[in-house]
A = this chain, B = another copy of it.
């Protein structure tokens, strides 16, 4: 039996309380697996008096998490404060500097400082572990960094934000519009009072930047992620997608291409029958494509106390067992600085919905704009006919380049028969 692993937790919100609970409830199982005890020895949070429903007796309280991170009685620091900078960054930097491994669930921190922190940690010979930062309880970081390490990964993508997936699922199930469902999600606690981080795709983009670094062994490049959220998705588009045999999902996608790495977060049409199309509600899923394994799909709860605590615990188990692998799958100083492929060079099929005045020649004008950009159409839907009001026309294209699509759409948007800005959703093939 080796000496216990002494754990300090900074931040006692939902996830922090969760890991405290897990370490207590599963203490015996963890000890069997690690051959040593996992001891919570110190915590730090803003409010010492708050009742968190967990037993902290015998645990040392620190008002200053940075001081805690430097304390010699601590073997590993768990950072659950959140935020890309401020105290979270200070705690992680202090712990690494003091030669202590760090476990964090903080995707914003990693998206902004991941490469530098990994370099610092590896110089000190300590782990920087972050299974909980991406896709909650799904052990996708370990899968990419270790389980699929024999492969050259060509693409990794998934549903990385449970709030958006919940909203899109509810919109489809009930036929209601975005605003109404968002309000309900907020009331239920599935969405924040300020929902922007989730619904505008930023949270998914943070996670994608981390996932992409691990999958491709490249430096974290959050700035290169093309980000669109789900605010403009309407009940009408969800209904049309359904009719065409698709679901609308907010996906984060990273792909290695000849000219660099493409990273993008935006709503996608995914074909019914593909695994990702059937992942509903607050669930997350990640698909990884490797040259030998083919497609592997990982699915589970993407957030919440239990799943996130499970991920934090798996990192603690690794540390207790002495498992140490390169932070982003290759040593930080050897990470590629892969070129970022701009969104204009993206190629794919597109779903376009126009609201047009129903009069002769409209379709001819629209299709001419596509023809001029050498974009060919796969199908067209026009349901209602109404000479007085704008009617929806839905077009699905074959594969084309984003730049050509943008030129065609600029022309179409300028037609006086087109009443609203065209709605465009990219189609993602498996």
Interface residues of A (CB under 8 A from B): 18, 22, 25-26, 29-30, 32-33, 35, 131, 137-139, 142-143, 146-152, 217, 273, 275, 278, 290-301, 306-307, 309-314, 316-318, 321-326, 329-331, 334
A294 with B306: in contact, given A147-B142, A312-B150 (CB under 8 Å)?
A: yes
Closest to A335 in B: B32
Q: Tell me the bound Cα distance from A275 to B148 in angstroms.
A: 22
Q: Tell me the bound Cα distance from A330 to B31 in angstroms.
A: 9
Q: Is the CB of A32 within 8 A of B142?
A: no
In-complex Cβ contact of A317 among B29, B149, B307, B321 (8 A): B149
Nearest Cβ in chain B — how far from A24, in angstroms? 12
Contacts of A331 in B (CB 8 A): 35
Q: Is the CB of B139 within 8 A of A148?
A: yes
Q: Is the CB of B143 within 8 A of A25?
A: no
In-complex Cβ contact of A293 among B307, B321, B334 (8 A): B307
Closest to A326 in B: B33
In-complex Cβ contact of A292 among B149, B292, B309, B323 (8 A): B309
In-complex Cβ contact of A314 among B25, B150, B330 (8 A): B150
A299 with B299: in contact, given A147-B143, A292-B310, A323-B323 (CB under 8 Å)?
A: yes
Closest to A30 in B: B150
In-complex Cβ contact of A150 among B32, B294, B313 (8 A): B313
Q: Tell me the bound Cα distance from A35 to B329 in angstroms.
A: 11
Nearest Cβ in chain B — how far from A177, in angstroms? 25
Contacts of A278 in B (CB 8 A): 273, 275, 278
Closest to A336 in B: B32
Nearest Cβ in chain B — how far from A317, in angstroms? 4
* Sample of 6 more A-B contacts, CB < 8 Å, known A26-B152, A150-B316, A296-B299: A33-B149, A137-B294, A149-B313, A293-B301, A294-B306, A323-B325
Q: Tell me the bound Cα distance from A323 to B329 in angstroms.
A: 13
23 A-B contacts (beta carbon < 8 Å):
A26-B150, A26-B291, A29-B151, A32-B217, A32-B334, A33-B217, A139-B146, A146-B146, A146-B314, A148-B310, A148-B314, A150-B313, A150-B314, A151-B310, A275-B278, A290-B310, A292-B307, A294-B307, A295-B300, A295-B301, A296-B300, A297-B297, A323-B325
Nearest Cβ in chain B — how far from A307, in angstroms? 5
Q: Is the CB of A149 within 8 A of B314?
A: yes
Q: Is the CB of A143 within 8 A of B139?
A: yes
Q: Is the CB of A323 within 8 A of B150?
A: no
Q: Is the CB of A150 within 8 A of B292?
A: no
Q: Is the CB of B334 within 8 A of A325?
A: no
In-complex Cβ contact of A294 among B29, B152, B300, B322 (8 A): B300
Closest to A304 in B: B294
Nearest Cβ in chain B — how far from A406, in angstroms? 35
Q: Tell me the bound Cα distance from A147 to B291 in angstroms.
A: 23
Q: Tell me the bound Cα distance from A128 to B33 in angstroms.
A: 16
A147 with B334: in contact, given A29-B152, A295-B300, A325-B323 (CB under 8 Å)?
A: no
Q: Tell me the bound Cα distance from A326 to B36 in angstroms.
A: 13
Q: Is the CB of B309 within 8 A of A300?
A: no
Q: Tell me the bound Cα distance from A296 to B297 in angstroms.
A: 11
Q: Tell me the bound Cα distance from A29 to B291 in angstroms.
A: 12
